Amino acid sequence: MFRLKKEFLNRIIEHTRKGYPNEACGILAGRGGKVEKIYEMNNIDKSPATYFMDAKEQFKVMKDMRNAGLEMLGIYHSHVASHAYPSSRDVEMAFYPEVSYVIVSLQEKDNPAIRSFKINDGKISEEEIVCL
């Protein structure tokens, strides 16, 4: 189960829409499985098919999370032309089995679909998103 406030869900959707036509990405941080902070990251791939976060930006975010006593709970990104389901590249790049991978599909830009997954050793399992 993945828990976040409705306002955070709306911010994620807004960020992915701003990134369109390219994929957008970000990091979700919190405690006890509840998201408390969103870090909107830059997609240095600048691609409609892939995303990659800047290492310096990631380092800064990890330091900020540590100083705030937060942990990385999830990574989100958008799919601009496909369903909200991990691509083979998403699975290949899933380096954190303990976090949730939230995907926003903008295939229907006015009606985005959002789903969350755990990815561990190439195995994908969907989890429920609970809005608080």
Local mean pLDDT, 10-residue blocks, the chain (132 residues):
92 97 98 95 96 97 98 98 97 96 95 97 96 90
How far apart are alpha carbons 61 and 37 in whole angstroms? 11
- Residue 131: predicted pLDDT: 92
- Long-range pairs for 49-58: beta carbons < 8 A, 24 or more residues apart: 49/23, 50/23, 50/89, 51/23, 51/24, 51/25, 51/77, 51/78, 53/25, 53/27, 58/27
- Residue 126: predicted pLDDT: 98
- Residue 34: predicted pLDDT: 94
Please report the domains of the chain, with CATH numbers, ordered by start residue: 2-131 (3.40.140.10)
